[in-house]
Amino acid sequence: MQDTTKHNQTIVEQFSQQAIPFSELPGHSQSMQMLIELSGVSASDDVLDVACGPGLVACEFALHARYVTGIDITPQMIEQAKERQKDKQLSNLSWQVGDVFPLPFPDAYFSVVLTRYSFHHFLNPAAVLAEMLRVCKPGGKVMVIDVVQPPEKAEAYDQLEKLRDPSHVHALTSSEMAAIVLESGLSNVKTARYKVDGELEKQLSASFPNPGDADKIREMFRTDLELDRMGINVHRHGNEIHFAVPILITVGEKLA
């Protein structure tokens, strides 16, 4: 098991650099309406966005909720989130720099608790999910949105992502995610899927791999063309190399 403090430092280092480019990648804004609908968020809800990044999801949910709180371990991400809030002239949001384990909130405080594109960074995603349930009100919704791979693709995908982003830990397989959700006690669980399309060079320009690793990544993409060993449908589009990352939405209710 990695040292938590050291791993958190790696996350902060990576996402301090990624704060602006991450928020500008078009694929991260797609499928937002799916999240709104599946969450069932309404004007009476208090929402927590765990590992909120630059506030893309939190600001969207603020258009529908009573109030939204975003928490992230990276101060630069929170600064980007505050700028986004200001640009959108939203008053029903607040932000907090902090760790997600444990979450610095009382039991049963929020009616919707969600996280997007974060579970693959956690050393213990099951423990984070347990914290999300703890701060959720009975009858409230808990939602996890992240890349989930078939078991036979996960190892190759992890190898790629650890090169591209050293704070990556592990993309859960479909069976691992199902087991975590079952263990958590969430009820009335629903799932949906979508894909985030991207182009290799644009993705690399928004990433900060270690020196020399960008060329290793390019080679991994070239050798995966049409083979799909990494589970991201690597293919050519003209002179460009494109890909599509499979995303699973899991949402359930905390038992009353």
Is residue 94 in a domain? yes
Distance CA 43, CA 175 (A): 34
- CA-nearest of 156, 91, 147 to 119 is 147
Three-state SS letters, 147-159: ECECHHHHHHHHH
205, part of any domain: no
pLDDT value for 5: 81
236 lies in a domain?
A: no
pLDDT at 13: 59
**Does residue 225 belong to any structural domain of this protein?**
no
Domain carrying residue 101: 4-195+246-253
Cα 222–226–227 angle (5° rounding)?
90
Structural domain contains residue 101: yes
In terms of Cα–Cα distance, which of 22, 1, 66 is closest to 207?
22
The pLDDT of residue 62 is 98
- Token pair, residue 27, equals 């694929």
* pLDDT tens for the 256 residues of the chain, in order: 457 787 667 655 555 554 444 555 555 556 899 999 999 999 999 999 999 999 999 999 999 999 999 999 999 999 999 999 999 999 999 999 999 999 999 999 999 999 999 999 999 999 999 999 999 999 999 999 999 999 999 999 999 999 999 899 999 999 999 999 999 999 999 999 999 999 999 999 888 889 999 999 999 999 999 899 999 999 999 999 999 999 999 999 999 8
Strands (E), the chain: 46-50, 67-72, 93-97, 110-116, 136-147, 187-199, 235-237, 240-253
Asked whether residue 213 is domain-assigned, the answer is: no
Burial of 89 (0-12, 13-18, 19+ CB in 10 A): exposed
Please report, for the domain that includes residue 59, its CATH number.
3.40.50.150
Residue at 215 is within a domain: no
What was the pLDDT predicted at 2? 56
What integer pLDDT is reported at residue 26 of this predicted model? 53
What pLDDT is stored for residue 19 in this prediction?
45
pLDDT for the residue 213: 95
Split into its structural domains, the chain has a count of: 1
The pTM (predicted TM-score) of the whole model is 0.91
Residue with tokens 């939405």: 249
pLDDT at residue 7 in the model: 67
Structural domain includes residue 175: yes
Q: Which residues, 6+ apart, have CB-to-CB distance to 204 below 8 Å?
A: 164, 214, 217, 218
Looking at residue 218, what is its pLDDT?
97
